[in-house]
Amino acid sequence: MGEFELIRRHFARPVRRATLGGGDDCALLTPSPGMQLAISSDMLVEGRHFLPTVDPRKLGHKALAVNLSDLAACGARPLAFTLALALPQADEDFLGPFAQGLYALADAHGCELVGGDTTRGPLNICITVFGEVPSGAALLRSGASAGDDLYVSGSLGDARLALEVFRGRLSVPHGVFEAARARMEQPTPRVALGQALRGLATSAIDISDGLLGDLGHVLRASGVGACIDTTIAINLIATQPDWTGAEATFDTETRLGLVLAGGDDYELAFTAPAASRAAVQAAAQAAGTPVTRIGRIEAQPGVRLVGAGGQLIERRYASFDHFARV
Amino acid sequence: MGEFELIRRHFARPVRRATLGGGDDCALLTPSPGMQLAISSDMLVEGRHFLPTVDPRKLGHKALAVNLSDLAACGARPLAFTLALALPQADEDFLGPFAQGLYALADAHGCELVGGDTTRGPLNICITVFGEVPSGAALLRSGASAGDDLYVSGSLGDARLALEVFRGRLSVPHGVFEAARARMEQPTPRVALGQALRGLATSAIDISDGLLGDLGHVLRASGVGACIDTTIAINLIATQPDWTGAEATFDTETRLGLVLAGGDDYELAFTAPAASRAAVQAAAQAAGTPVTRIGRIEAQPGVRLVGAGGQLIERRYASFDHFARV
């Protein structure tokens, strides 16, 4: 099967929102008046962002999810995306379910495929996503102020737990693993929450490289620091309730490490004035996404972790750096 | 050197046109009123789109050039691009010149890097480019009509000649090879010509997979056919004047094959009404890009090649299909 036939079979669907979709040299998008276009691009590589054993359907989901997560962090509404795909061979068994997983998530967010590229090469998935946000309303990394509350959405650390089990460094009961694995393989981009936080959050970022690492970007961009309550943060790992039988394997240190520096979470970390607490919870409820207040923004640069009774604890967690990690 | 440091060092420059560039979750673009956004994405893989021996500076040029060529084919003005890059290692010797080649072409077209991604993996370059075109004015593949003239810009076949020399299938004098190699490694996107053809050309496409293959897309999208004068087309190969000494190696058939099905040319093929001949030549002159009228559009589907005296000649040239090619 030739390249063009391959593309046609799996990725040619009529576009609704775009003026012109895949099949011409460019896609054409007509932005709504008063809107800015938010753009993000992520590249997924086998062995780094997903395991060779991954179900192609889940990979299709994840490849788009990590991009939608960037739109969410800006408070943008998804519009469209392009897909560039390098494949070792034109593999029907891969492409069919990959396209299904991709389209299922795209359709759920009204985000349509408008173009792209397919070529032969080591498996590589590059998606560029487009969203719109009212001019000046985008959530940025640079708006946090001392005194703001610090929040995260959903749960943290589960994806990294699954990875560590895959690597043989941790072991958990099968049911726990499956739940964690679902978080790793099919993250939920917090698109509704991001939009609900427009006008409320003073800064936001999506957590892809671990909370501490990504929070660091916000703090540096905003010229502030933060204090995190680890007695709250440690409960952010969703699979915790099932850990009883395996408790011995996971000391507090490990659990906190997964939460603070796990990576691959695709939750939002954001800040909002303390006066907006009720409004933030209402926005979270409207978006159907739980949020947890885990600390506050402070004038002093850096991150401070406090334990029970508010005492400062010293720990260093590396952020998830694709070029530093072994 | 970590991922973030790597990105900062080579790809962090202040943006001028974008509201927000790389360094936040999304880039923000504010399209001009009345403009549509033209979007295209291309992925370049080592061994398929470039040779491992390529000068990184030229690779940086080419990676953006092939994307700008898509904007040119739509008549769009370049605005911005994202770069996603997978690298085997954070290699200073690669990244420095790659960024220089990329930025040199970007600056020449006022097209700014607004975001992207960097990760470890087999070398892969994915650029998504954004341009703007007045609403409804984009050049499409679907507008060719029977009776229109068929044109191509610049020269065709030289890039493929260089590739065949690299492969050891053809040999040419050194000077000829260097000229052809420059065409392969540093194609010239016909951005000014594309914009000059707005309102004149009835259809356009950029020639990346060979003239016949790409023209086929136009013909199918427009529901027409074409007739090409091979006595004109055969002269489109730019390195021809130097071939005298090597004439024996290159029969007419080979030369015509390079022109018609070479690939990697990044010229424009376009159609325009016969009544617009003077206007087309004026537009080409204004854009500083030569164009050649090589045939006409006909109602009968398919492509017909005619030789000296207008007799029909039978030849089959495969298009450049990334999954069909050995």
Does the pLDDT of residue B324 top 60, yes or no? no
In this structure, are residues B80 and B114 in contact, taking their beta carbons and an 8 Å threshold? yes
Distance between A241 CA and the closest CA of chain B, angstroms:
32
Residue B264 belongs to some domain of the structure: yes
CB contact under 8 A, A3 and B321: yes
Q: How far apart are the first and last CA of chain A?
A: 38
In this structure, are residues A56 and B43 in contact, taking their beta carbons and an 8 Å threshold? no
Same domain, B11 and B72: yes
Q: In what order do the strands lie in the sheet with B112-120?
A: A27-29, B35-45, B124-134, B77-87, B112-120
- Residue A314 has what pLDDT? 74
Same domain, A154 and A127: no
Nearest Cα residue in chain B from A25: B70
Same domain, B159 and B15: no
Same domain, B286 and B156: yes
Using 50, 70 and 90 to split pLDDT, how confident is the model at A244?
Answer: low
Residue B38 belongs to some domain of the structure: yes
Residue B139 belongs to some domain of the structure: no
- Residue A320 has what pLDDT? 45
Same domain, B234 and B167: yes
- Given A28, A122, A323, which is nearest B2 (Cβ)? A323
Same domain, A290 and A161: yes
Same domain, B72 and B163: no
The mean pLDDT value for A17-36 works out to: 77
> Which percentage of chain A shows pLDDT scores above 90?
64
Full domain range(s) for residue B309:
149-313
Task: Choose the final residue of a domain: B134, B165, B189.
Answer: B134
Spell out which residues of chain B touch residue A114, defining contact as CB-CB under 8 Å: 39
Same domain, A155 and A282: yes
Residue A321 belongs to some domain of the structure: no
CB contact under 8 A, A41 and B117: yes
Contacts across the A-B interface (CB distance below 8 Å): 229
The tens digit of pLDDT for each residue in B228-262 reads: 999 999 999 987 545 555 544 567 788 889 999 99
Q: Per the structure block, which two tokens stand in for B270?
A: 């376009």
Q: Which helix (H) or strand (E) holds A207?
A: strand A203-207
Same domain, A202 and A269: yes
Residue A240 belongs to some domain of the structure: yes
Task: Choose the final residue of a domain: A71, A105, A134.
Answer: A134
Residue B292 falls in which region: left (phi positive, over 0), alpha (psi -120 to 50) or beta:
beta
CB contact under 8 A, A41 and B323: no
Spell out which residues of chain B touch residue A138, defining contact as CB-CB under 8 Å: 20, 26, 28
Q: Count the domains in chain B.
A: 2
- Residue B239 has what pLDDT? 72
Same domain, A51 and A106: yes
Q: Per the structure block, which two tokens stand in for A154?
A: 């959903």
Spell out which residues of chain B touch residue A115, defining contact as CB-CB under 8 Å: 39-41
Same domain, B208 and B271: yes
Residue A253 belongs to some domain of the structure: yes
Task: Choose the final residue of a domain: B103, B134, B165.
Answer: B134
**For all residues of chain A together, what is the average pLDDT?**
88
Burial annotation A129-164 (CB, 10 A radius, 16+ → b, else e): bbbbbeeeebbbbebbeeebbbbbbbbbbbbbbbbb
Q: What is the CATH number of the domain that holds A190?
A: 3.90.650.10
Q: Per the structure block, which two tokens stand in for B126?
A: 């994915």
In this structure, are residues B158 and B213 in contact, taking their beta carbons and an 8 Å threshold? no
Does the pLDDT of residue B325 top 50, yes or no? no
Residue A318 belongs to some domain of the structure: no
Residue A290 belongs to some domain of the structure: yes
Does the pTM exceed 0.80? yes
Q: What is the CATH number of the domain that holds A56?
A: 3.30.1330.10
Same domain, B63 and B204: no
Spell out which residues of chain B touch residue A3, defining contact as CB-CB under 8 Å: 321-324
Q: Which helix (H) or strand (E) holds A307?
A: none
- What ipTM was assigned to the predicted interfaces of this complex? 0.87
The tens digit of pLDDT for each residue in A121-139 reads: 999 999 999 999 999 999 9
Q: Are strands A124-134 and A35-45 parallel, antiparallel or unpaired?
A: antiparallel
Q: How far apart are the first and last CA of chain B?
A: 38
Spell out which residues of chain B touch residue A2, defining contact as CB-CB under 8 Å: 321, 323-324
Nearest Cα residue in chain A from B66: A25
CB contact under 8 A, B321 and A4: yes
User: Which of B8, B11, B29, B39 to mutate against chain A (most A CBs within 10 Å)?
Assistant: B39
- Residue B117 has what pLDDT? 87
Using 50, 70 and 90 to split pLDDT, how confident is the model at A248?
Answer: very low
